[in-house]
Amino acid sequence: MFPNATILKHPLIEHKLSILRDRDTPNPLFRETLNELSYLIVYEITRDLALRPVRLQTPLAPCDAQQLAEQVLLVPILRAGLGMVEGILHLIPAAKVGHIGVYRDEQTLQPVEYYCKLPPGAESMRVFLLDPMLATGGSLAYAIARLKEKGIRRITVVSVLAAPEGLQALHAAHPDVHVYTAMLDECLNGQGYILPGLGDCGDRLFGTL
Ligand code: PRP
Ligand code: URA
């Protein structure tokens, strides 16, 4: 239905998503679970990372092995994307981290930028743009445009929950960017929240409800 999106299917991903959805999950468990879920998602979607051959010595013998050949850059969209970074860094500790600060204006739902810091050389890196919530798609579409402005082309979106409306809008704006998400939810409500969703992700991560 959405050529730009892959919905990941894995029992552990579904289980952890249920913890995030539960309104009784306290902030510390919510944070921990979002990081674990992000780890699982990125493990699933990085099968195509380039490798280079290395010759090394095990304690017993010389050995031909493979190591990551490309520089990975994680770019969380603040604030909620921050909740994914630590989990992914457990998996790819050598990844660099840039930040884009974007919030949705509550009335218009339009993205408003307040921060952008990327490492030098970002244009040659493999970028994973992190935002757990893809609602109208406005924040991600804006962030992708900012990355492209800086010459970055190899962009993959990592999300947790996506609304059909947002996926459609994102595909129209950036058909070249693929989205990986743990679940395609039903729709948006009148305030632009994903249903059934998990509520306001930034607030649940940082206790600002
Ligand atoms: C949330 C969420 C996404 C955005 C998704 O951010 O973290 O970035 O909304 O909505 P969209 O697809 O309609 O743009 P929010 O504006 O609540 O900021 P916060 O993360 O700082 O709380
Ligand atoms: N942002 C959130 O945190 N939750 C939603 O459901 C939509 C946007």
pLDDT tens digits, 11-36: 999 999 999 999 999 999 999 999 99
**Which ligand is the nearest neighbour of the Cα of 159?**
1
Which two tokens mark 117? 């810091």
- 181 touches ligand 1 (CB under 6 Å): no
- Atom 2, ligand 2: residue with shortest CA distance: 200
DSSP-derived letter for residue 198 is: -
Residues with a catalytic annotation lie at 104, 108, 200, 203
pLDDT tens digits, 129-159: 999 999 999 999 999 999 999 999 999 999 9
Does residue 65 fall inside a structural domain? no
- Helices 11-21 and 27-45 pack at an angle, to 10 degrees, of 150
**Which ligand is the nearest neighbour of the Cα of 207?**
1
DSSP per position, 122-187: GGGSEEEEE-SEESSSHHHHHHHHHHHHTT---EEEE-SEE-HHHHHHHHHH-TT-EEEESEE-SE
- 166 touches ligand 2 (CB under 6 Å): no
Mean pLDDT, rounded, for 96-118: 97
Number of Cβ within 10 Å of residue 65's Cβ equals 10
- Helices 164-173 and 138-149 pack at an angle, to 10 degrees, of 20
CATH number for position 75? 3.40.50.2020
On whether the CB atoms of residues 168 and 191 are closer than 8 A, the answer is no
Which residues fall within 8 angstroms of residue 139, CB to CB, at 6 or more apart? 77, 102, 103, 104, 111, 131
Does residue 209 fall inside a structural domain? no
**Band (201; pLDDT cuts 50, 70, 90):** very high
Domain count, the chain: 1
pLDDT confidence of residue 189: 98
Ligand 2 nearest-atom number relative to CA 193? 6
On whether the CB atoms of residues 67 and 51 are closer than 8 A, the answer is yes
Query: Is pLDDT above 90 for 209?
Result: no
Does residue 79 fall inside a structural domain? yes
- 138 touches ligand 1 (CB under 6 Å): yes
SS3 label, residue 15: helix
Does residue 166 fall inside a structural domain? yes
Do strands 183-184 and 161-162 pair parallel, antiparallel, or not at all (unpaired)?
parallel
Does residue 62 fall inside a structural domain? no
Does residue 59 fall inside a structural domain? no
- Helices 27-45 and 82-91 pack at an angle, to 10 degrees, of 50
What is the percent of the chain with per-residue pLDDT over 90, rounded to a whole number?
99
Predicted TM-score (pTM) of the model is 0.97
Which residue segment(s) compose the domain that 181 sits in? 5-48+70-204
- 193 touches ligand 2 (CB under 6 Å): yes
Instruction: Indicate the helix (H) or strand (E) that contains 31.
Output: helix 27-45
Does residue 61 fall inside a structural domain? no
Ligand 2 centroid – CA 142 distance (Å) = 16
- 103 touches ligand 2 (CB under 6 Å): no
Query: Is pLDDT above 90 for 194?
Result: yes
**Band (163; pLDDT cuts 50, 70, 90):** very high
Q: What is the mean pLDDT of the chain?
A: 97
pLDDT tens digits, 68-93: 999 999 999 999 999 999 999 999 99
Does residue 130 fall inside a structural domain? yes
Peptide bond into 79 cis (omega under 30): yes
Query: Is pLDDT above 90 for 1?
Result: no
